[in-house]
A and B are shown apart, each in its own frame.
Chain A
Amino acid sequence: MALTGIEIYKKLPKTNCGKCGVPTCLAFAMNLAAGKAELSSCPDVSEEVKRELAEASAPPIRPLSVGMGENILKIGGETVMFRHEKTFVNPPGLALLIKDSMKEEEIEEKISRFNQLQYERVGLLLHPDLIAVKEESKEAQKFAEVVKKVKEKSKNGIILMSNNSDILAVGLGVCKDDKPLIYAANKENLDAVANLAKENSCPLAVRGETIEELVELTTKLSEKGLKDLVLDSGARTLRRVLEDQTIIRRAALLKKFRALGFPTIAFPCEMTDNFMEEATVASVLIAKYAGIIVLSDLMGESLFPLLLERLNIYTDPQRPMATKEGIYEINNPGEDSPVLVTTNFSLTYFIVSGEIEASRIPAWLLVQEAEGLSVMTAWAADKFVAETIAPFVKKCGIVDKAKDKKLIIPGYAAQISGELEEELAGWEIIIGPREASLIPAFLKARQEGKK
């Protein structure tokens, strides 16, 4: 946590010279604490204080990135233990493991699957993030070839995995400009691997066999001037993984323990041979604090649920997820199909569209922008009322698609039906069910009634 204004004030020259742009040092200190001023605007502060304050105001878990370009992965930067306390910010990167001992076709097939497995949801593209290339061949040349192939075929960040600094150096020779994550510095290779990371300005993963050992290693690396570190406590059983992830996060946030103030990396791929179990291990790590999660393989049936979990856990609780306003076609509707309207809270949209889809009855679903609020909340806030729905229905273009001119509104918005009928001349307003789960029965009954 950052220092308070008073704590910062104590370290300032207290001359109230005004050169920083505000009249007093106290006011300047308050601005600094709020992140509204830069310490460099004070001409008289000593170098020592500058260093102290920079250290104290640094984020408790260092934010860093792996890779370059549009698919760059940002990790770290978290500030809370529980998402409801504020929000989690940087979703953990999901990485695919490729070993340099694998056959060429297998490697190509894995990379191509990595590139294919992307999913659109609530206007976001969900996808895996990194490819980890692990050296098992003990041959630098072979490792470099695989790294080269990955670099050619994918735009995503790379993790270079080897204990051998010479082999890592050859791998870096191929991809250092892409800012790969180097895995890993350990007790044996610390100096050599640290130098590689420093020379190539790449983030560096550190592996200790225990948290205590990890603390020793990161302390040494920080002394060498390395800043972008990623932590592996060596835990490879589920119980220890959860405990270590929790302890590391807590030490960084609650104790401001700098030696552990970095994002983590974890390896479900090394914890089980069963890919279904591997997915459950990864799911623990998504909820509980991993920065990068390395998986042995990517398959839609396990990757998709994991991406959904990540989306859910990393949704900002202070900001509802919203769906785009517009007309959604469900089950290929025609001009005789019913028209329903709801708000753009994405959960509302998902549930309503899911129920309509399940009914197998073709329908038009109109989603009205209501700042991502649910029906009841939006209605109460005047964001889903006759004055907003009527203009939306008129301009959205549904009149050209559906000829019935009957609009089904959510049961919870029943009160607006009279007014809406007035505002929407020529339309009949039908009050739908209160709960989305009753939509299929409702639509079926209307369909029967029509016949």
Chain B
Amino acid sequence: MAFEVPKISYSGRIKEINLGKGEKEVTIGGETSYPFHLFEGEMPHKPVIAFEVYDSKPEEWPAVIVQPFQDVIDNPVAWAKKCINEFDAELICLRMVSTDPNGLNKSADEIAPIVKEVADSIEVPLIVWGCENDEKDALVLPKVAEICQDKRLILGPATDKNYKKIGAAAIAYKHTVVASTPIDINLAKQLNILLGDLGVPDEQIIVDPNIGGCSLGYGLEYAYSVMERDRQAALTQQDTKLQFPMVANFATDVWKKKEVKTSQKDDPKLGNEVNRGILLEALTGVTLLLAGGDLLVMRHPESIKLVRKVIEDLIVKE
């Protein structure tokens, strides 16, 4: 039998989006085929990983994940710098957990200067992530957008409840918005349309189809499939409103599960807890890369190292 490699003819292309500014600017997107299908398409920009940094000392982190950041864990500026200087972070994702109304409930005015300080002390692109409370984020993110107006931040999550306030701030101060929806391709598409109608330029939108995150063993399959469907519609069904790069923000979800907290002593069959935590995060990342993730937000330096190696090995020229 004569064999011919069965190739798919793609009709769409993912938009290229520039993040940050200056020398450390990062571009994502631009794919003309399914993820890493380099035998039939292009992936001009490799997927990138943002290091997750909290704006305040995390309360419930297991020791495994505190350890690499022990010396900087109550100082977001030092923490971000450590990620860049020691672990070569290409982006930082600052999570404003302290603004959570069910936690410290810091106000927009309290947190914005802290974000500004982080933004001023780094050159890599900065993702500023809210506490995932629609009303509170609608107050905090616009304030952050204003005070960091020349920084070209990436602001998220913008949801169908608060996209107007966050979108307007992004337009006014030229930041990028992360459109976040709960694992539903139609909702994802609709929010992109709404942001467009509001006047957010395409070049300032990226998409997070799994609001609140997901992780191995906890609904990863939903995130995986909504991302695959998104990519399929974007590339083969000319769905222009889905042709945006995708974000996968899952570290927070991975690291709060009991499977990363259980010690080897308490459950020997689960093996070494340090390696287990690293792999639970890394494998979540690898799986979502294969589904079409362009920008991953991750936490443990060793997990990130493993996923970076996978990316390099998948795009290496042979």
Contacts and interface: CB of A to CB of B under 8 A. Distances in A.
A117 B276 CA distance: 14
Contact of A276 (B38, B102, B256, B279): B279
Interface in A123-172: none
B1 A438 contact: no
A276 B314 contact: no
A237 B314 CA distance: 9
Given A117-B269, A250-B6, A301-B276, A358 B256 contact: yes
Contacts of A299: 271-272, 275
A244 B18 CA distance: 32
Contact of B307 (A82, A247, A280): A280
A251 B39 CA distance: 14
Contacts of A257: 1, 3, 6
B225 A317 contact: yes
A58 to B, nearest CB: 16
Given A219-B1, A280-B306, A357-B258, 18 more contacts: A82-B228, A117-B269, A243-B37, A243-B38, A254-B6, A255-B6, A279-B282, A283-B286, A299-B272, A300-B268, A300-B270, A301-B275, A302-B271, A304-B269, A305-B216, A305-B276, A308-B220, A315-B221
Contact of A302 (B1, B218, B279, B310): B279
Contacts of A219: 1
Nearest to A213: B3
Contacts of B241: none
A116 interface: yes
B104 interface: no
Contacts of A317: 221, 225
Contact of A238 (B5, B268, B280, B310): B310
A306 B217 CA distance: 10
Interface string A242-275: 1100110011001101111000000000000000
How extensive is the interface on chain B, given as a class? 35 or more
Interface string B264-288: 1000111111011011101100110
A83 B225 CA distance: 7
Interface string B193-234: 000000000000000000000001111111011001100100
A428 interface: no
B318 interface: yes
Contact of B228 (A84, A116, A354): A84
Interface residues of A, number: 60
Contacts of A279: 279, 282-283
B23 interface: no
Contact of A240 (B278, B291, B318): B318
A20 B279 CA distance: 57
Nearest to A435: B212
Q: Is the interface of A mostly helix, strand, loop or mixed?
A: helix
9 contacts: A212-B3, A237-B318, A280-B306, A280-B310, A299-B272, A300-B272, A304-B271, A317-B221, A358-B60
B83 to A, nearest CB: 20
Interface in B235-259: 256-259
Given A82-B225, A219-B1, A238-B310, A354 B6 contact: no
A247 B270 contact: no
A288 interface: yes
A347 interface: yes
B37 A246 contact: yes
Interface of B: 1, 3, 5-6, 8, 36-39, 60, 102, 216-222, 224-225, 228-229, 232, 256-259, 261, 264, 268-273, 275-276, 278-280, 282-283, 286-287, 290-291, 302, 306-307, 309-310, 313-316, 318
Nearest to A248: B6
A279 B282 CA distance: 9
Given A212-B3, A317-B225, A441-B102, A239 B286 contact: no
A303 B228 CA distance: 25
A284 interface: yes
B218 A309 contact: no
Contacts of A276: 275, 278-279, 282, 302, 306
A26 interface: no
A251 B6 contact: yes
A277 interface: yes
Interface string A88-120: 000000000000000000000000000011110
A311 interface: yes
Contact of A83 (B8, B60, B221, B313): B221
A82 to B, nearest CB: 5
A356 B6 CA distance: 50
A430 interface: no
Contacts of A243: 37-39
A312 interface: yes
A389 interface: no
Instruction: Specify which of B37, B39, B279 lies most central, judged by the most chain A CB atoms within 10 Å of its CB.
Output: B279
Contact of A351 (B38, B218, B302): B218
A309 B306 contact: no
A252 to B, nearest CB: 9
Contacts of B60: 358
A239 B225 contact: no
B276 A238 contact: no
B220 A312 contact: yes
A84 B291 CA distance: 12
A313 interface: yes
Nearest to A222: B1
A361 interface: no
A350 interface: yes
B266 to A, nearest CB: 12
A116 B258 contact: no
Contacts of B102: 438, 441
A283 to B, nearest CB: 5
A445 to B, nearest CB: 10
A119 B38 contact: no
Contacts of B229: 82, 84
Nearest to A317: B225
B314 A309 contact: no
Nearest to A288: B290
Instruction: Specify which of A257, A276, A288 lies most central, judged by the most chain B CB atoms within 10 Å of its CB.
Output: A276
A121 B269 CA distance: 14
A302 B279 CA distance: 7
A238 B290 contact: no
B270 A301 contact: yes
A37 interface: no
